[in-house]
Structure 1
Amino acid sequence: MVEVQVFGLIMDEESRAPVMVLRAVEGEETLPIQIGFAEAASIAAALENIEVSRPMTHDLLMVVLDTLDASIERVEITDLRDSVFVAEIHLKKGRRTFKIDCRPSDAAALALRAGAQIFVADEVFLKAAPADAAEASRLQWLAFFHALEASENPDSILDSDPEKTVH
């Protein structure tokens, strides 16, 4: 398993669908995952610490978990089957642990809110990582410019290296 962070969100130019870009905390692995618009909005809100007047779905789930004294230990993207990514949320309640099947976008949205680590199975990178370095670099630069555009403090991003920046 490789620990990753949400590097950023970009718009796929061909499909016009949002893409969540995950980047290894240590290493060069980059993993783009196409996601839905609602999940992209939820992830963006978590990345930017945006408070909304009414809870979004992932905020509501965090309230439910808190009410039940359960916590998210970690999330894992475990497989890629027929072009569909598979993820699990690892929950803890007391001494019991549970693995909940979910989409990677939901797992990431919840992990960001819970401050939980995100992991990707090594074989997922082998199956899905960009085929060449040029595509990986293009995704990194797109996420870098998106972070620059969305940031309230662009100087902090300009002082960083897009090859290393994690949004």
Structure 2
Amino acid sequence: MKLVELAALVVETNSGMPVVVLREHDAPHRLLSIFIGGPEATSIALAASGQRSPRPLTHDLMATLVGSLDGAIDKAEITEVSDGAFFASLALHGPTGEQRLDTRPSDAIALAMRVGAPLYVSEAVLAEAGTLPPPEPEPDSTMDDAAIDHAVDEFRVFLDDIQPEHFGADPAADQADQAD
């Protein structure tokens, strides 16, 4: 299992469906995108921002219920992908011992985020459905130090010579407006 974190919550442009994007914590930082429902997206967004709904949402109720029964959510795991459908589980412990519950990934993510439990994705799921992030753009290194110094000097001269009229402003009109 690979530790992941919430990278983004976006709306897919063609379908208008919410997509949760998870990022692998360690290199190579693969991304996993999962389509989710609107209410689950709202719940995840609230948990990610630290905000609370005026009334408890279903995931708030579930987290409170587990805690009130002297239980705790230990971790959430996205365990499998089959025909584009993702499967997840929650690992819980309480007075009756440890339990593993089958759940949708969106519910697992929303609950884990509410209680601060870690979120994991199986290596098999990342290998099948994960993508590598786009490469970071290389800094433009076509200018050598002398060319950079020359460009900076030219910009300084420009700044020293600039006048309000260069921007189409009339200083006399501006002063008259301020006097009114």
Where do 1:1-167 residues align within 5 Å? 1-27=1-27, 28-94=29-95, 96-130=97-131, 133=132, 136-137=133-134
Q: List gaps (5 residues or longer) in structure 2.
A: 136-180
| Deviation sequence 1:16-58 (CA, Å, 0-9, x none) | 1000000011121110111000000000000011122110000
Q: How far 1:8 sits from its partner (Å)?
A: 1.4
Q: How far apart in 2 are the matches of 1:20 and 1:67?
A: 29
Q: CA deviation at 1:98?
A: 0.5
Compute the displacement of 1:137 (Å).
2.8
Q: In 1, distance between residues paired with 2:134 and 2:57?
A: 33
Q: Distance in 2 between matches of 1:70 and 1:19?
A: 30
In the superposition, the TM-score normalised over structure 1's length comes to: 0.77
Could you say what the CA RMSD is over the residues aligned between the two structures, in angstroms?
1.6
Q: 2:173 maps to what in 1?
A: none
3-state SS in 1 of match to 2:33: strand
TM-score where L is the length of structure 2 = 0.72
Provide the rounded CA distance (Å) in 1 between the counterparts of 2:14 and 2:48.
25
Amino acid at match of 1:80: V
Listed as ranges, the gaps of 5+ residues in structure 1 are 139-167
> Larger relative CO (CA 8 A, sep 6+): 1 or 2?
1
- Corresponding position of 1:147: none
One-letter amino acid matched to 1:21: V
C-alpha distance in structure 2 between counterparts of 1:13 and 1:137, whole Å: 19
Greater Rg over alpha carbons, structure = 2
Displaced runs of 4 or more, over 2 A = none
Q: Identity over the aligned pairs, expressed in percent?
A: 37
Instruction: Report Cα offsets for 1:72-115 as digits up to 9, x if no partner.
Output: 00010000012110000001003611010001110000000010
How many aligned positions are there? 135
2:16 aligned counterpart, secondary structure:
coil
Aligned match of 1:152:
none
Q: Distance in 2 between matches of 1:137 and 1:15?
A: 23
- What's the secondary structure of 2:134's corresponding residue? helix
AA matched with 1:48:
S
